[in-house]
Amino acid sequence: MGNCCSDEAGGRTAVGGTAASMGNPTNFPNDAVGHFLKSRGHAPFSEIELSYSASDLRDRDVLSKSDPMVIVYTKGRDGVLEELGRTEVVLNSLNPKWITKHTITYQFHIVQTLVFRVYDVDTQFHNVDVKMLKLEEQQFLGEGSGVLSQIVTKSDRSLILDLVHREESTGSNRARNLGKLTVHAEECISSKTTTEMIFRCSDLESRDLFSRSGPFLVISKVVESGIQIPVCKTEVIKGDLKPTWKPVFLNIQQVGSKDNPLVIECFNFNSSGKHDLIGEVRKSLADLEKLHSSGQGENLFLPTPVGHNYQNKVLKSQLFVDKFSLSTKHSFLDYLAGGCELNFMVAIDFTASNGNPRLPDSLHYIDHSGRLNAYQRAIVEVGEVLQFYDSDKRFPAWGFGARPIDGPVSHCFNLNGSSHHSEVEGIQGIMMAYTSALLNVSLAGPTLFGPVISNAALIASHSLANSGRKYFVLLIITDGVVTDLQETKDALVKASDLPLSILIVGVGGADFKEMEILDADKGERLESSTGRVASRDIVQFVPFRDVQSGEISVVQALLAELPLQFLTYMRTRDIQPIS
Amino acid sequence: MESTSRTLEVTVISGENLRTDRKPVKKNAFVTIQTDSNKVCTTKMDADGGSYPSWNEKLVVDVPMHARFVTVEVQCKTSTGNKTVGVARIPISDFVGGHVPQSYLHFLSYRLRDYKGERNGIINISVKAKVPEYASCSSGTGMGMGVPLADNNFGGVVTGIPVWCTGAYAGKF
């Protein structure tokens, strides 16, 4: 539910509300099957503050130095620039340090390209609001661009850009130094501040007169339109009219600010899913802190229909805040600045079900006009994001399900054709190794995931002896139904104890039902043949459809959980960002 | 003693969906850990966690070097005495050996089996082997491992063996 959950597995099995499901284990609500480790974290959501300085700007004025200003743009995938903001004008300086800062939301799953343009503002405009300035009336000093993930992965969180002429400028061929722009990124403290609260209720009333309450709380934030968006919920406590729930955690960024109103609703759990509202309270985080300090309770109220309106009936029941504490946890960006890396690995399905690569209807068909096939698009779209988090950009790349020349079918062969190492240089290296492999192997079968997962797990295991600051991401691109489902589960269960996440992209039109089983979001926790259970969810599956309907892209769905999986791993092992 | 046994720090974290005779455990769940030796380590009781108990309790367990399994048993206290909820038989090889460092903190989860051998909930633990002083020094010098060769042999599959309560448990039922 939302981005935050209680410390315990949320939404316990049905208790209290109705007795009908007590003896019916198949009727558990999905909420009841929660991962305890999953509940320890909440999805990273970071605002970043950008600040700027420059050096060695060109001297444009005859009688004085330049008066520079920076304009910041975000560049969309279509290349369109959207202005993010402008700095103030620094008078008479070739090495300015601007005061103005701009805030941008960090989105892990997107390559966020920023463009910076520096202008010398003419003296006659010095008293004009910078928003009113017309850029064609100013002197262009230079342009720089960079990717946000390049900035946040540097230890000092700064990126130095060479200022150049615009591409369309007539002086583009000259190798003149236009100066340097330094962009510094700092994560807003509110993005990292978490409140821990313990709620207690007294004298709860249940409208279900014949059963005792199984109460739980839902905390929602109220957006401008008045809609309530759930951000947090507690576990269900059976048969208690004075429940004390386990701690809940809220990131301040999730609720907007400490003063934004929250709705805290107390429900009586019902396995049908239609929970009875016992009562509610409307308070901000600041109000809850005051309640905690004073030790007082707040009466719940129940909206009661009166004619065409609602009237709030004050109840005898009360809500108490037994604990309220603020803490700053290490964020995903803290780990990146501390030198942790995400290392990208890729494994490609070379089974015969893809079709003959020489035929246009094959999923592996290489179109010489340059149009990418589904495998190539998946590699590029995932790789172009993840490459920024790997310092050496050497990626292990495997194929599976093919017969090399003079050999038996291999379920994990090096894409580069080498027999002793699997790494290639950059995303382009993966693409070249892929097209080269297509010419040198015969598609075969069956489809096995176990060997490539075990190989990735081996690399992850060995990295632990070095520094433990690497987290591995294996991308598996496949067209078909896996043959070794149980062996794959076994490998995934073992890998769940290692710094490894696995992304599975399904291409083509096959039935991907078994992939949904591996993605624990949509299924139960994976269990190996020996009874060992995955200690955390490391698999994400997304079908790669040619038509991308809606605004959420395939890559977003695939990568959205990765920072949380990373954080869950790091925090449970108490690995600190700074070594 | 050092040469005949190893010391494990086992944190018993939590249980999920525990039942006795198909009904959710209501209260008073606790966990015992046992190896071949007669020593038994026991957690405190989770009085109010119900079928999703939480202990977060660290037990120090001495395991003989020849032992191949550690047995984790979830029990609950009832008016008629302690009742076994489920048992998990954990291979030592899940957290000793392999390619990770000796002192790696493992997070492990296991399916419990009740006295009939039927699936019954999950136990979540973490395990860390205590490394003697001299061993950790030598393991430090072992750094610099290269990337391993591509390996098509990912090992055979171990056949799952359901745990049948015999011997010491038989008397309880």
Mutate to test the interface with A, among B124, B152, B161, B163 (most CBs of A within 10 A): B152
State how beta strands B5-16 and B119-129 pair.
Answer: antiparallel
Residue A24 phi, psi (nearest 5): -120, 85
Calpha distance A120→A138 (Å, rounded): 6
Inter-chain contact B17–A13, Cβ cutoff 8 Å?
yes
Closest residue of chain A to B22, computed from CA coordinates: A23
The HSE-up count of residue A212 (CA atoms within 13 Å, CB side) is: 10
Interface check A31 vs B, CB under 8 A: no
Inter-chain contact A410–B122, Cβ cutoff 8 Å?
no
Question: Which tokens is B81 given?
Answer: 């005495």
State how beta strands A423-425 and A394-400 pair.
Answer: antiparallel
Give the per-residue pLDDT at A211.
61
pLDDT tens track, chain A, 579 positions? 333 333 333 333 333 233 233 232 322 232 332 332 233 244 455 889 899 999 988 665 566 678 999 999 999 868 999 898 999 999 889 899 899 999 898 989 889 999 999 999 988 887 888 888 888 889 899 999 999 998 999 899 899 999 987 544 445 444 556 898 999 998 887 777 888 899 989 878 665 544 646 888 999 988 777 878 887 878 777 676 778 887 887 877 677 888 888 999 998 877 777 788 889 998 999 999 989 999 989 999 888 787 777 778 888 889 999 989 888 778 899 999 999 999 999 999 999 999 999 899 899 999 979 879 999 989 998 998 999 999 989 899 999 999 887 789 999 999 999 988 899 989 989 999 999 999 899 999 999 999 999 999 999 998 998 767 789 999 999 998 888 999 999 999 989 999 999 999 999 988 897 888 898 765 668 999 999 999 898 998 988 854 444 445 777 788 987 898 998 899 788 888 864
**pLDDT interval class at B88 (50, 70, 90):** very high
Nearest to A281 by CA among A293, A270, A296, A294: A296
Inter-chain contact A465–B150, Cβ cutoff 8 Å?
no
Min Cα distance A464 → chain B (Å) is 6
Interface check B1 vs A, CB under 8 A: no
Interface check A36 vs B, CB under 8 A: yes
Nearest to A400 by CA among A471, A363, A352, A460: A352
Give contacts of A536 with chain B, Cβ < 8 Å.
Answer: 107
**pLDDT interval class at B121 (50, 70, 90):** very high
CATH architecture of the domain with residue range B5-133: Sandwich (2.60)
Interface check B140 vs A, CB under 8 A: no
Minimum-distance CB partner of B157 among A421, A496, A529: A529
Residue B167 phi, psi (nearest 5): 60, -115
Query: To which residue do tokens 């009562």 refer?
Result: A279
Residue-range domain boundaries for chain B = 5-133
Interface check B99 vs A, CB under 8 A: yes
Asked if residue B143 has pLDDT above 50, the reply is: no
Inter-chain contact A464–B113, Cβ cutoff 8 Å?
no
Interface check B138 vs A, CB under 8 A: no
| Domains along chain A with CATH numbers | 10-41+193-328 (2.60.40.150), 47-187 (2.60.40.150), 334-573 (3.40.50.410)
Q: How many other CB atoms are there within 10 angstroms of residue B26's CB atom?
A: 17
Q: Beta partners for B74?
A: B31, B86
Q: Beta partners for A87?
A: none
Q: How many other CB atoms are there within 10 angstroms of residue B146's CB atom?
A: 7
Q: Which residues contact A287 (CB under 8 A, 6 or more apart)?
A: none
Q: Which residues contact A134 (CB under 8 A, 6 or more apart)?
A: none
Interface check B97 vs A, CB under 8 A: no
Give contacts of A414 with chain B, Cβ < 8 Å.
Answer: 150
First to last CA, chain A: 34
Amino acid present at A189: I
Calpha distance A569→A574 (Å, rounded): 9
Q: Which residues contact A443 (CB under 8 A, 6 or more apart)?
A: A350, A351, A352, A354, A356, A357, A364, A401, A402, A403
Min Cα distance A237 → chain B (Å) is 9
Give contacts of B91 with chain A, Cβ < 8 Å.
Answer: 530
Interface check A532 vs B, CB under 8 A: yes
A366, A316 contact by CB (below 8 A): no
Interface check A310 vs B, CB under 8 A: no
Min Cα distance A498 → chain B (Å) is 8
A349, A362 contact by CB (below 8 A): no
Give contacts of B51 with chain A, Cβ < 8 Å.
Answer: 12-13
As a whole number of angstroms, the longest Cα–Cα distance in chain A is 89
Interface check A283 vs B, CB under 8 A: no
